């Protein structure tokens, strides 16, 4: 059935204006003043922003990690995402040394098919750069619609790859239109510092942060950026947390290299002191890279505002406190790394960013949705409200005040890292390709209504033009 959104304020990455939106056959059909269609259901958006659905470029659903498996799967995780205003996630598909990329993708398709309630794509981990894997990468790009490849520079003896693997992946990605993503921390030095801390009897959660200093994130970020420049390739640095890493990205970008960066809401609103909470509660705040000293928060906000960082990912990697985070009692290195954020990413960025005057409303849409669509080959199908685009739309009440809590969140996890935080702004109704997923704050979708998205190749030429025009710094 057709739908007509009336009386709302449309907000995209570039414009804010009042108009009606006609939706038909999953797409935005028309935008204009006083549209009428007697066959369309009218949705009254008075007092609401009408925004493109959020695109979360960084999630880990049902992922084996840290001796356990993340708690949210593609069903509970995407329901929570939709409640939070997100209509697309790009999830990290893990691969195994000695096994094909196709096997890894089949495994992730099996986890997600029939479960997701919003659309989703995959990034694919490269665990080794064997001849077979490097030959398979172009096939994955052309046939599977997976065009972004992740290298872990940390998690020694588990996920970590060496620099040769990173460099060969960068070269292959450049040749075939892929985008390489890195978790940038120096895993070898972290391993040394971790073993030393444990030997000295320093076992509490705070030691997670103390053994992963910002210098090691800066060093790895700079190394990855320099290898990217040498390969004349393209790089996206996930979960940037600190001045040291922002500086490396800004330096590479100032020299014209294709280096992009993402931060996460947790690094904008939480800090290292959270890891010192008593009764092992600090474990709830264990991410890698770790939460940093508060002084980094302003640097990250500035980097988002000036375009040195382009996106925000939730890094949603949810574990219960009971039974999962508790695996690390008496040994901080066994605390599963990660936390629940897919539901709060949109609202936290709006409340702390737009409402507090740190970023403009249009910049918000760019960071929360549009830029990820552009970087990961989904634009203009996703990431904007325009005729022909998928009708992935959020009706957002910008003035609603509420308190984040485990008691009201939808994520399948037994704590909120933001318990008690007051935010302004709430997604009210969420459409995915024109169908209600959330209607008046209630989930009305069905598992399986979300579809797998084939991503286009990294649009390097388009990005070059945008950067030359200076638009990335808006």
Burial class for 294, CB neighbours closer than 10 Å (0-12, 13-18, 19+): exposed
Distances (CA, A) of 431 to 115, 119, 337, 396: 17, 11, 32, 12
Closest CA to 106 of 119, 115, 95: 95
Question: Between residues 313 and 445, which has the closer beta carbon with respect to ligand URP?
Answer: 313
Which residues pair with residue 100 across a beta bridge? none
* Per-residue binder mask for ligand URP (CB under 6 A), 20-39, x = binder: --------------------
Question: Between residues 58 and 174, which has the closer beta carbon with respect to Zn ion?
Answer: 58
Residue number of the CB closest to Zn ion reads 183
- Contact call for residue 217 and ligand URP (CB under 6 A): no
Per the document, the length of the chain is 474
Instruction: Rule CB under 6 A: choose which of 204, 315, 352, 392 binds ligand URP.
Output: 315
54 phi and psi angles, rounded to 5 deg: -65, 145
Q: Which two tokens mark 327?
A: 């695996």
- Contact call for residue 194 and ligand URP (CB under 6 A): no
* Per-residue binder mask for ligand URP (CB under 6 A), 224-253, x = binder: ---------------x--------------
We find the least distance from the C-beta atom of residue 271 to Zn ion, in angstroms, to be 19
Which residues bind to Zn ion, rule: CB under 5 A? 183, 315
Instruction: Rule CB under 6 A: choose which of 77, 121, 338, 377 binds ligand URP.
Output: 338
Question: Between residues 191 and 360, which has the closer beta carbon with respect to ligand URP?
Answer: 191
- Contact call for residue 288 and ligand URP (CB under 6 A): yes
- Contact call for residue 77 and ligand URP (CB under 6 A): no
C-alpha span between 239 and 254 (Å, rounded): 20
The site partner of 337 among Zn ion, ligand URP, none (C-beta below 5 to 8 Å per kind) is: ligand URP
Residue-wise over 55-83: b if at least 16 C-beta within 10 A, else e? Answer: bbbbbbbbbebbeeebbbbbbbbbbbbbb
Binding residue count for ligand URP, defined by CB under 6 A: 9
Alpha helices in 151-277 (DSSP H): 163-176, 187-199, 206-210, 214-231, 243-254, 265-269
Burial class for 402, CB neighbours closer than 10 Å (0-12, 13-18, 19+): middle
Question: Between residues 183 and 363, which has the closer beta carbon with respect to ligand URP?
Answer: 183
In the complex, the residues that contact ligand URP under the rule CB under 6 A are 60, 183, 239, 287-288, 315, 317, 337-338
């Amino acid at each position: 059935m057709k739908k007509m959104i009336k009386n709302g304020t449309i907000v995209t990455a570039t414009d804010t204006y009042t108009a009606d939106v006609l939706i038909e056959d999953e797409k935005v059909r028309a935008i204009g003043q006083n549209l009428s269609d007697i066959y369309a259901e009218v949705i009254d958006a008075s007092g609401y922003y009408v925004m493109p659905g959020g695109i979360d470029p960084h999630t880990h659903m049902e992922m084996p990690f840290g001796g356990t498996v993340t708690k949210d799967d593609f069903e509970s995780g995407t329901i929570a995402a939709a409640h939070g205003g997100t209509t697309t996630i790009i999830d990290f598909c893990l691969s195994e040394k000695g096994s094909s990329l196709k096997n890894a993708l089949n495994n992730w398709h099996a986890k997600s098919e029939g479960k997701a309630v919003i659309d989703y794509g995959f990034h694919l981990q490269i665990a080794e750069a064997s001849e077979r894997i490097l030959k398979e990468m172009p096939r994955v790009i052309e046939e599977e619609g997976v065009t972004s490849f992740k290298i872990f520079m940390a998690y020694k003896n588990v996920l970590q790859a060496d620099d040769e693997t990173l460099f060969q992946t960068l070269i292959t990605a450049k040749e075939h239109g892929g985008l390489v993503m890195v978790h940038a921390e120096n895993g070898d030095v972290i391993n040394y510092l971790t073993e030393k801390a444990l030997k000295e009897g320093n076992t509490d959660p705070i030691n997670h942060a103390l053994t992963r200093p910002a210098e090691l994130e800066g060093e790895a970020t700079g190394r990855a950026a320099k290898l990217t420049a040498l390969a004349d390739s393209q790089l996206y640095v996930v979960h940037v947390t600190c001045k040291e890493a922002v500086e490396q990205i800004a330096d590479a970008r100032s020299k014209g290299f294709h280096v992009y960066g993402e931060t996460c809401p947790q690094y904008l609103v939480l800090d290292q002191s959270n890891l010192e909470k008593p009764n092992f509660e600090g474990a709830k705040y264990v991410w890698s890279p770790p939460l940093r000293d508060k002084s980094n928060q302003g640097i990250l906000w500035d980097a988002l505002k000036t375009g040195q960082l382009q996106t925000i990912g939730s890094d949603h990697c949810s574990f219960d406190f009971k039974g999962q985070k508790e695996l690390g009692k008496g040994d901080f290195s066994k605390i599963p790394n990660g936390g629940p954020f897919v539901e709060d990413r949109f609202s936290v960025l709006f409340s702390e960013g737009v409402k507090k005057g740190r970023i403009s409303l249009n910049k918000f849409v760019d960071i929360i949705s549009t830029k990820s669509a552009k970087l990961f080959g989904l634009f203009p199908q996703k990431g904007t409200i325009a005729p022909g685009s998928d009708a992935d739309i959020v009706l957002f009440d910008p003035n609603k005040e509420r308190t984040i809590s485990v008691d009201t969140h939808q994520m399948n996890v037994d704590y909120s890292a933001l318990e008690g935080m007051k935010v302004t702004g709430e997604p009210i109704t969420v459409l995915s390709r024109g169908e209600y997923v959330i209607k008046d704050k209630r989930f009305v979708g069905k598992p399986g209504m979300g579809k797998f998205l084939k991503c286009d190749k990294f649009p390097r030429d388009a990005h070059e033009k945008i950067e030359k025009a200076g638009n990335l710094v808006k």
